[in-house]
Amino acid sequence: MKIFSISVVLAPPSGASVVLSSASDLSSFSFYQKGSVGEFMTFFSKTVAERTPQGQRQSVQENNYTAHVYNRGGADQLAAVIIADQEYPVRPAFSLLTKLLDEFTAQIPQSSFDNPASINFPSINTYIQKYQDPRQADTIMRVQQELDETKIVLHKTIESVLQRGEKLDNLVDRSNALSAQSKMFYKTAKKVRTLLHWVILYS
């Protein structure tokens, strides 16, 4: 079980989202992959935050990753996103996201959202280290039994979250947030996964 990325995102109902604070653990990737993987994690986090309706939680799968998203909405228009492997359990992930948003709004004034570079929220680094073990979230789960399971939409694919006619490949191509190297990394990884799928299918 592994958390790769955790983010707090300003996600207005219309318009582009903005990452206000984030932390990542990319130690399982090579030195040459880390930059591209980090960029794609940010892109994926913003994409799913923008496409999660306010007041809802959902888990979105993309290849070997699952993005757990809680778009709390409300006056602050904040969402939180964890990108983890598929083994990381759902309930601790959502409990963690709720706690993260509560702490962020308690410490960071809404007036600073216009200038993300000025936001200092070191607690997010503690979250990504401490909660690599989902059992650490058990205490959160016991305290927050009000988590409304009916609002959790589980195990969507990225394609089902995108708007009609949108394709992730096209979003990647159009994105200004991804470098040419990151776009190439995404396309190469996708081709390798497709090839492996056919090899496994016909072996």
Are 122 and 130 in contact, with CB atoms under 8 Å apart? no
pLDDT at 31 over 90: no
pLDDT, one tens digit per residue, over 67-94 is: 899 999 888 899 999 998 888 888 888 8
What are the residues facing 152 on neighbouring strands?
A: 57
pLDDT, one tens digit per residue, over 176-187 is: 655 666 656 655
Q: If we measure between CA atoms, which residue out of 48, 60, 3, 49 comes closest to residue 26?
A: 3
Question: Where would I find the beta strands (DSSP E) of 32-104?
Answer: 56-62, 65-73, 78-85
End-to-end CA distance of the chain: 28
pLDDT at 149 over 60: no
Q: Report the range out of 75-79, 92-96, 132-136, 169-173 with the highest average pLDDT.
A: 75-79
Q: Are β-strands 56-62 and 152-157 bridged in parallel, bridged antiparallel, or unpaired?
A: parallel
CA angle 150, 156, 162 (to 5 degrees): 115
Token match 């993309």: residue?
62
pLDDT at 105 over 90: yes
Token match 């216009």: residue?
114
Instruction: List b or e across 20-37, with b for residues whose CB sees 16 or more CB atoms inside 10 angstroms.
Output: bbbbbebeeeeeeeeebb
For the chain, give the mean pLDDT.
76
What confidence score (pLDDT) does residue 121 get?
A: 94
The model carries a pTM of 0.70
- Residue 57 CA: distances (Å) to CA of 130, 155, 159, 171, 175: 22, 11, 17, 22, 25
